[in-house]
Chains A and B, each alone.
Chain A
Amino acid sequence: MAERYLDERTYATGDVVFAEGAAGTEMFIVQEGAVALTRTVAGREIFIGAQERGDFFGEMSMFTGSPRHATCVAMVPTRLLAIRSGELLMKLRRDPTLALEMVAQMSRRMAYLETQLVKLVEHQLEARGQLGKVMARAEFFSDDPEP
């Protein structure tokens, strides 16, 4: 049987897996349970998404060396598989299809983010258009000669 080179960790509901801004050198795969990812923007906590069985997360910090972009909290009793960068290579040698699944999941995330970005730009353009109309109207009225 496979030797235990991977780190399995269990978390109770509400436990913090990692906090935003912390240094991170490992990624996680959800073996059991689910986690929520949140981010603080202008003092408000924004829900980014939930990761369930089979999903992976935390790879951004592992690959780029940047601090954690989000806080990760267990939503239910959860068991995670922690993989450090050196172990990822070994994992990929033993489990090569993981690479394809990671690319597939990342492509789905990218497609989702692109859709969100387009929506945001559309929303911004719409808001700008409306603002333009309001300003034009304000200008029209301000140009009116006073009786």
Chain B
Amino acid sequence: MNIDVREPRLLVTSDAHIGSLFCDARRGLIRFLEFARAHDFNVCINGDGIDVEYTTLRAFTAETSAFLRELRRLTSDMTVYYTVGNHDILLEHYVGDWGRLQLVPFLNVSSGSKRIRIEHGHLYDPSMMTDPNLYHGIRQVLCAMCRMYPPGYYWHEKYQRLRFRYVRRLLGHDLHALDSTATRDISPAFLEAAEELAKRGFDAVVFGHTHYAGELPINDNRARYLNTGSWFRDPHFVKIDNGEVTLMQVPAGLR
């Protein structure tokens, strides 16, 4: 397991949730990987690439087997890093090098003169940190409910958004000063975690998990927090090109 890598050109995306009942991103992600290969980039799928929670065995096997076949074909001439998230947490048991597919818990990338930390970010989710057993119990119930009534997932997301806005108001944060949903609608814990990581000498910290794409300066403007959102809607990716780090929308043709 190599967590420190040098990658001049790397694209990072996250939260494709392949196999999920609510997201059909398999073809899109394959197109994205083919696009990266054609432009001489390696790729990091930053967690929740596949989804073992919001799924059924039938959907999971059908979607992931097709995806893994494609992945095997593509990794014949490009390296794909896969950082483990919470919806694919069972992959923690397989962490290691699988040829040119590298399964890692997180990644420290050196590119040009920059150091970039790539991590899914679920470790900093306050509900997961406070009581992991309760968190997983609630998730199981939610998954079962969403299987019976799929639109319930979007109500759940809306509830989370409102909850974090409420928490921020309680903390006295100025919601209007936070420029985008990427920073306004997520728990402050993620930005605090990104700050902590940036203090260790990173120029950029790339998370997924929250499903809200965006970026924000952190660590006294010495570093940046970036989030690639999710493939549920408006997927983004981070382009790392010889030290230049840019957050971009996945072009419509690739989705």
Contacts and interface: CB of A to CB of B under 8 A. Distances in A.
Contact of B197 (A1, A30, A95): A95
Interface string B183-217: 00000100111011101111000000000000000
B105 A1 contact: no
B119 interface: yes
B115 interface: yes
B138 interface: no
Interface string A100-133: 1100100000000000000000000000000000
Contacts of A81: 199-200
Given A54-B108, A54-B115, A96-B123, A104 B200 contact: no
Given A1-B191, A53-B115, A100-B105, A95 B196 contact: yes
Given A53-B201, A54-B200, A81-B200, A1 B106 contact: no
A64 interface: no
Contact of B201 (A6, A29, A95, A100): A29
Nearest to B198: A31
Contacts of A95: 193, 196-197, 200
B192 A94 contact: yes
A54 B196 contact: no
A95 B196 CA distance: 6
Please tell me the size bucket of the interface on A: 20 to 34
A117 B191 CA distance: 44
Contacts of B106: 97
Contacts of B200: 29, 31, 54, 81, 95, 98
B153 to A, nearest CB: 29
Contacts of B196: 2, 91, 94-95
Nearest to B1: A104
Nearest to B194: A2
A32 interface: yes
A54 B201 contact: yes
A89 B202 CA distance: 21
Interface in A70-112: 81, 91, 94-98, 100-101, 104
A143 B119 CA distance: 74
B250 interface: no
Contacts of B193: 94-95
A5 B41 CA distance: 39
Contacts of A104: 3-4
Given A53-B115, A94-B193, A100-B105, A6 B199 contact: yes
A81 B192 CA distance: 17
Contacts of A101: 3, 108
A104 B191 CA distance: 25
A101 B105 CA distance: 11
B223 to A, nearest CB: 10
A139 B123 CA distance: 71
Interface in B1-54: 3-4
A30 B3 CA distance: 18
A85 B201 CA distance: 20
A76 B119 CA distance: 30
Given A53-B115, A101-B3, A1 B199 contact: no
21 contacts: A1-B192, A1-B218, A2-B195, A2-B196, A8-B199, A29-B199, A29-B201, A30-B201, A32-B201, A53-B201, A54-B108, A54-B115, A54-B201, A54-B202, A81-B199, A94-B196, A97-B105, A97-B106, A97-B119, A100-B105, A101-B108
Given A94-B192, A98-B200, 15 more contacts: A1-B192, A2-B196, A29-B200, A53-B115, A53-B201, A54-B200, A54-B201, A54-B202, A81-B199, A81-B200, A91-B196, A94-B196, A97-B106, A100-B3, A101-B3
